[in-house]
Amino acid sequence: MLSKNCTKCGKLKPLSRFSKQRSRKDGIRGKCKECISIESFERNRSKIGRIKAIYNGQISSSRRRGYPLPDYTKEEFIEWVLSHDSYNDIHNEWVDSGYKKYYSPSADRKDDYKSYTLDNLILTTWKKNFRKYNSDQKNGLNNKTSTSVDQYTIDGVFVANYHSYAEAGRVTSINKSSIEKCAKGHHSHAGNYVWKINTGLFMNKNEQAEALKLIFELSSKLETQLSWNTSLPESYKTVTKKAFSFTNGMYNKYGLGA
Ligand SMILES: [Zn+2]
């Protein structure tokens, strides 16, 4: 037997696409790896699944930073979150956003210097958590001096964000001072990646200019095609015209990237 049908999607797949499972007769799981990963992805987005994911995050972040673990169990945490009526609204907002990280339900410590205890927690969203962290630093409530840093491939594809150079160094095994030198513009890259300081803004000015430039280039190219390629669907025409006139307007107004 070199392949079998997945019990979830029904597709015939090679055995390498299935994990092992001793308790089964053939020693191989019934569902394929892709179906398992889709299921866990969906589970993490459910009301309870998200709470469990927050809890797991607290455990791993405590371990990573060498802080005491939460003094409550997963079940106690689930009960605590569900006792807040606001959790429904927060979760719905996240669903409506198309599961943007920015809106994801989150639990924040009121006092960042105290460990994870239920009295020290507030239920919030990632967005507010992130903003609080930044404003606390500004107001001197949190004098941690770490700089949040973003990792990109040489081609400019975003890879990950780290809360400090030290964390970035630890996770990637790249020298943290090389990462810092790159983020500060002294080197073009470190460990085959490009590093940029994360300012907490949605996009920095260079990224905004780059995005506008790309939309502009794409829409100009499409616009030229539209004039002779009549088989392009109507929806292309509408969005091309919109994108073209928008980016054109932005260029005229701000001269971004020009
Ligand atoms: Zn499957």
Mean pLDDT for the stretch of residues 59-86: 90
Distance 33 CA to ligand 1 centre (A): 7
Distance 101 CA to ligand 1 centre (A): 27
Residue-level pLDDT at 179: 96
Distance 74 CA to ligand 1 centre (A): 30
**What is the C-alpha separation between 112 and 228, in angstroms, rounded?**
61
Look at residue 34 and tell me whether its pLDDT is greater than 80: yes
Distance 34 CA to ligand 1 centre (A): 6
**What is the C-alpha separation between 133 and 233, in angstroms, rounded?**
47
Look at residue 131 and tell me whether its pLDDT is greater than 80: no
Sequence-distant (6+) residues with CB within 8 A of 95 are 45
Look at residue 46 and tell me whether its pLDDT is greater than 60: yes
**What is the C-alpha separation between 256 and 258, in angstroms, rounded?**
5
**What is the C-alpha separation between 197 and 179, in angstroms, rounded?**
10
**23-59 burial string, b = 16+ CB within 10 Å, else e?**
eeeeebbebbeebbeeeeeeeeeeeeebbbbbbeebe
Query: Cα Rg for the chain, rounded, in angstroms?
Result: 24
Distance 131 CA to ligand 1 centre (A): 40
- How do the domains of the chain map onto residue ranges? 44-138, 149-197, 205-254
Residue-level pLDDT at 257: 46
Distance 57 CA to ligand 1 centre (A): 28
Distance 19 CA to ligand 1 centre (A): 12
Q: What is the pTM of this model?
A: 0.48
Distance 2 CA to ligand 1 centre (A): 16
**pLDDT per residue over 143-180, tens digit each?**
455 788 899 999 888 888 888 898 899 888 999 999 99
Annotation: CATH topology of 149-197:
Arc Repressor Mutant, subunit A (1.10.10)
DSSP one-letter code for 18: S
Angle CA(209)–CA(213)–CA(216) in degrees, nearest 5?
140
Rounded to 10 deg, the angle between the 205-228 and 234-254 helix axes is 140
Distance 35 CA to ligand 1 centre (A): 4
Look at residue 258 and tell me whether its pLDDT is greater than 50: no
Average pLDDT, whole number, for the chain? 84
Strands (E), 115-240: 121-125, 149-153, 158-162, 193-197
Distance 36 CA to ligand 1 centre (A): 7
Distance 11 CA to ligand 1 centre (A): 6
